[in-house]
Amino acid sequence: MTPVVNGLETTFGEQLDIRSLNAAFGDGRSAFQNYGLPGHPSYVILDPQGEVLWSAFGPQSAEALEDVVEDAISKVSSGLY
């Protein structure tokens, strides 16, 4: 099964830094702890200053994630965040 973030990277890779982390290893473990993520799959969208704009746990459709990413990009670009 291909992670949904792979499709997001194709669509938004020029605008975002997209990372896929495994909660069981290295940076993934500390990221899950730092952001209070309960397990896998979890998603976090951060603003340029590292503040959480949105997070979710559990399976998400590619379409739903694209909508959330587009909304976050729009708000950050317009200075709403």
Instruction: For residue range 30-72, list pLDDT tens digits in order.
Output: 988 888 888 888 888 888 888 888 999 988 888 899 999 999 8
Angle among Cα 19, 37, 15 to the nearest 5 degrees reads 30
Paired with 62 in beta bridges are none
Here the CATH number for the domain that contains residue 42 is 3.40.30.10
Angle among Cα 18, 70, 14 to the nearest 5 degrees reads 45
Which DSSP state fits 63? Answer: H
Helix (H, G, I), strand (E, B) or coil at 53: strand
Q: Do residues 52 and 65 make contact, with C-beta atoms less than 8 angstroms apart?
A: no
Q: Domain range spanning residue 59?
A: 4-77
- What pLDDT is attached to residue 81? 59
Per residue in 4-36, pLDDT (tens digit) is 676 788 888 788 888 888 888 888 889 888 888
How many structural domains are present in the chain? Answer: 1
